[in-house]
Structure 1
Amino acid sequence: MSAVWWRRLRAYVTPPLLAEEPWRKALDGCPLAQRLDLARQNELRRLVGVFLARKRFHALADAELTDAACTLIAMQACLPVLRQGPRSLRGWRDILVYPGEFRVKRSHHDDRSGVVTETDDVLIGEAWEHGPLVLSLADVQLDLTHPWDGYNVVVHEIAHKLDMLDGPPDGVPLLPPSIPRRQWIVAFQRAFDLLSNDVARGRDTLIDPYGAESPDEFFAVTSELHWSQPSVLRRADASVAELLEAFYGPSSAPA
């Protein structure tokens, strides 16, 4: 076994703590992390070290991806797993970063007619089951500049990753024993149905209407609100807000 291979293996199994200088620089650039208490900041620093050791970043379409930008992405990606731990980031390795919005081709097969329709979707983020995390760097930077506006693309996509740990996304992630699965399903289904009904009737909603696309998008959208605008989430649905706090831990956003 070569010395280089052994060092890489050791860094993967027991990643070193993120060094002080890059940690402080990232903390200065991430308001969501700045407001954590010291104990959770220390845990976040450990998780970021694990993330950077075990994930691989890929700059696409000439994206200018610096080490500092990677650390800021890792920091936001680890916020939702502060309570779940590094094992909740298993099953995937790569982060693909575009400079801005990116296009994805979709094919839809209509079972009744047999017709296949192809469309181009313009996205700012995407999470593949057992595959990469895909992000728009411009939107990552926008979220860091406006941390309390209710949106965070990294948190959104990590929520999808957590949702997919037990199979295709359905809005029900792997839950700790302290959260009854039935309670989660009932509360989230009721809230999703209410949002879908309001969106269908053209009513204004506190929760982003995109959450009405599907139960898994509802979970991801409300996860963004938990970290960025928890007071809005509580006004929209107190039961969902309570369950997300039990799952993620307290939000670091201003009250």
Structure 2
Amino acid sequence: MAESTWLQTRARVPWVARLDPERDARLRELAARFLHEKTISPIGELVLDDVQRCMLAALCCLPLVEFGAQGLHGWSQLIVYPDAFRVNRSHMDAAGVLHEWQDDLIGEAWESGPMILSWADVLADCEDPQAGFCVAAHEMAHKIDVLDGLLDGTPPLPRSWQREWARDFQADYDALAARVDAGEDTPIDGYATEAPEEFFAVATEYHFSDPQLLETEMPAVAAHLRRFYGPSPFATALS
């Protein structure tokens, strides 16, 4: 990777710009590996230059600075749409009735397939990095989560830590779900209650983009994510 490409990436991705030199070097190595191993496929008329591809690689690898390159295993393609994209869904209910609908998405991670991102939303995240959103980190959380063979909100961990993680995440998941079910307007996005894996992915977004809110609302979850991901680049607010 050219030095100029990485410097421009640092200038455009606020999370990267705030890393200390040691973590910056680790992320740069991971991003270079990502660019070597993954196919980045822009859709339609979207064209991505070298710096934009490096931005995507850096954002996808940000959750791997502590976890390491094993987080890249199991998939080979990043598909990038210009904007939000539409997918067809179907579900067969218990009565045997097939339900079909369409979802508009800004990101998706297949359990054994590509990761998909909306470029417009990646840029929006970079423009407002402390708004509580980071779609690339969200989808990478799913990719890390499934490495142990189960998409369940618990990534590969030592057994003793896994038990603590499951206990604390379940407690905060249940508490948030109760508030959402009661119609409360919660500080943490209610989408986190869709499933345990979404709770982990949404909490990951807050770790990187609003760690102070996560610490206030869910201190046990915040502590696990600090241990897993390392300190958030925004752990200290911008002056």
| TM beyond 0.5 | yes
Match of 1:250 among 222, 231, 237: 231
Contact 1:206 1:233 in 2 (8 A): no
Q: Which residue does 1:150 correspond to in 2?
A: 132
Q: Which runs of 5+ in 1 are unaligned?
A: 1-17
TM-score by length of 2: 0.96
CA distance in 1, matches of 2:100, 2:45: 27
- Offset, 1:168: 3.3
- Structure 2 residue matching 1:170: 3-state secondary structure: coil
Contact 2:76 2:113 in 1 (8 A): yes
User: Does residue 124 of structure 1 match 2:106?
Assistant: yes
Match of 1:61 among 31, 40, 44: 44
CA distance in 2, matches of 1:137, 1:31: 16
- Offset, 1:64: 2.6
Match of 2:97 among 95, 115, 136: 115
CA distance in 2, matches of 1:84, 1:180: 14
CA distance in 2, matches of 1:27, 1:37: 12
- Offset, 1:176: 4.5
Contact 1:22 1:68 in 2 (8 A): yes
Structure number with greater Rg is 1
Q: Which residue does 1:51 correspond to in 2?
A: 34
Cα shift readout 1:90-128 (whole Å, capped 9, x = no counterpart):
010101111001011111011x21011111010000000
RMSD: 1.1
Percent identical among aligned pairs is: 44
Given the superposition, is the C-alpha separation of residues 72 and 176 from structure 1 closer, same or farther in structure 2, using an over 3 Å criterion?
A: farther
Contact 2:141 2:200 in 1 (8 A): yes
Q: Which residue does 1:13 correspond to in 2?
A: none
Contact 1:82 1:248 in 2 (8 A): yes
Cα shift readout 1:23-66 (whole Å, capped 9, x = no counterpart):
00000001101111110001111111101000001111222322
Match of 1:91 among 55, 74, 77: 74
Match of 1:167 among 149, 160, 167: 149
User: Does residue 230 of structure 1 match 2:238?
Assistant: no
Contact 2:117 2:136 in 1 (8 A): yes
Aligned residue identity for 1:226: H
Count of residues in Structure 1 that have an aligned counterpart in Structure 2: 236
Aligned residue identity for 1:47: L
Q: Which residue does 1:33 correspond to in 2?
A: 16
- Structure 1 residue matching 2:108: 3-state secondary structure: strand
Contact 2:6 2:51 in 1 (8 A): no
- Offset, 1:204: 1.8
User: Does residue 199 of structure 1 match 2:180?
Assistant: yes
Contact 1:169 1:216 in 2 (8 A): yes
User: Does residue 221 of structure 1 match 2:208?
Assistant: no
Aligned residue identity for 1:200: D
Q: Which residue does 1:3 correspond to in 2?
A: none
- Structure 1 residue matching 2:80: 3-state secondary structure: strand
Q: Which residue does 1:42 correspond to in 2?
A: 25
Match of 2:169 among 168, 180, 188: 188
